[in-house]
Chain A
Amino acid sequence: MRHGFPLLSGVDLDIAAGTLTLVTGTNGAGKTSLLQLLAGLVPLTSGRAQVAGVDLRSGDRRQLRRRVGWLGHEGSFYDELTVRENLVFAARALSRPVSQVEVVAARVALEGRLDTTTKQLSAGQRRRLGLAWLVLRRPELWLLDEPYASLDDEGRTFFDELLSEVLASGATVVVSAHDPLRSPTLNPIGVHLAGGRVVPT
């Protein structure tokens, strides 16, 4: 909540582990806020919520953030560093072997871009880098804020494949989008937000 304006009110949600949830709604409906809240990035000011066993009001949000993967709709890395350097930084921070960096880059089809400065990447490539960061982490809960924006058709297919893989590995995924998913393989549970609350679809 900022400036005393409630971003979310009347949200009553239960997301089961290992499922895919799609949050839809117009601009300003509260999609991003909901995802940020679930990621432990913003504090919960009233009401009650638990994510992965961590209470959002009284629990240790830092502990929670370590277990979730967050992909915002802006970039999510250091612009002056190259793709490789960004991934190495993340790998080191997470105590993962640095050798994984190239594997992960190949997984998101960025292997040819490893030594390009992030600033010079196209919007779609930046999104892939964000995903690479997540693939490297393999979090329990994936929170993806409008991941389809700025992806072309090929990117979408690739992304859907990745999601099925993630789901198959047992992780939970929450995705926000303006429109319903077009994927034939993914079958998300739909949640529609309007004016900061869940409305039945």
Chain B
Amino acid sequence: MIRTALLVAGKDLRIERRSRVLLWQVVPFGVIALVLCGLALGPVGVSRATAGPGLFYLVTLLVTLLMITRSHAIERTAGTRSSVATLGLDPAGVFLGKALALAIELWITGLVLLAGSVLLLHTSLHGTVKALPSIIVTLGALAAVGTIYGALTAGDSGAGTLLPVLALPAFAPLLIAGERSFRAALNGGGVWEWWLIVTVALVAYLSAGILLYGVLEES
């Protein structure tokens, strides 16, 4: 399972590195979304600084949706599915691999967006660094959740429009937990609840993916 996971993750990342969709499409989208958030909040700086964590996560969710679609689109090019299906890869491994690749891509994008939020929204740099562990885990959970929902909607006629409706409710707790722990890193305050939520979500979705991904691939 782990071997398959690494193989699939390596393949996904290699395709990403070659096609540069992340660099040229996803990251710029995230940055412009942050800029728009700044504009929407008006010229007074204070509200922007406090809104930083929430906006960072909101933009991250939008970016995640794009990345999930992309992650599943590469499996759907004509004929690839059939051929790969006959390789007999372990579906749990495929799930873990795709989730891992997505997580790595999200971490990279997340770094850019964090830099953007420090520069554009004046979020405190010190607090942002303190919040990094929670951000890494939250984005990991997002990748796990997202990979399953991506498989659920892959190849649909309404691809891209169905995914947000299905995935965003599942993203909601992660948004809340991520934002709260980010804020706690900035201003202090209790965070164990948020770690609990993120950890439960991560474990629940990793297990669900390992158990159920085969059902989704079998079609």
Residues in chain A within 8 A of chain B (CB atoms): 36, 39, 41, 61-63, 65-66, 68-81, 85, 89-90, 92-94, 117, 130, 133, 137, 139
Residues in chain B within 8 A of chain A (CB atoms): 4, 7, 11, 14-15, 18-19, 74, 77-80, 82-83, 85-89, 214, 218
The contact sample of 8 A-B pairs, CB cut-off 8 A, is A39-B86, A66-B86, A69-B86, A70-B82, A89-B11, A93-B87, A93-B88, A130-B79
Are the C-beta atoms of B18 and A76 separated by less than 8 Å?
no
> A39-B86, A41-B85, A69-B86 given as contacts; is B77 within 8 A of A93 (CB)?
no
> A41-B85, A80-B15, A85-B14 given as contacts; is B218 within 8 A of A62 (CB)?
yes
Are the C-beta atoms of A78 and B87 separated by less than 8 Å?
no
Are the C-beta atoms of B18 and A75 separated by less than 8 Å?
no
Partner of B7, one of A66, A92, A133: A92
Which of A36, A62, A117 is most buried by chain B, counting CB atoms within 10 A of its CB?
A62
> A65-B88, A66-B88, A93-B4 given as contacts; is B83 within 8 A of A81 (CB)?
no
Partner of A39, one of B7, B82, B87, B214: B82
**CA gap between A21 and B179 in the complex, in Å:** 62
> A65-B88, A93-B7 given as contacts; is B82 within 8 A of A78 (CB)?
no
**CA gap between A155 and B159 in the complex, in Å:** 38
**CA gap between A66 and B18 in the complex, in Å:** 29
Partner of B88, one of A62, A72, A73, A80: A62
Contacts of A61 in B (CB 8 A): 218
Are the C-beta atoms of A77 and B80 separated by less than 8 Å?
yes
Contacts of B7 in A (CB 8 A): 89, 92-93
**CA gap between A41 and B87 in the complex, in Å:** 12
Contacts of B82 in A (CB 8 A): 36, 39, 41, 70, 72, 76
**CA gap between A139 and B88 in the complex, in Å:** 12
Q: Tell me the minimal C-beta distance from A59 to chain B in angstroms.
A: 13
Are the C-beta atoms of B18 and A80 separated by less than 8 Å?
yes
Contacts of A41 in B (CB 8 A): 82, 85-86
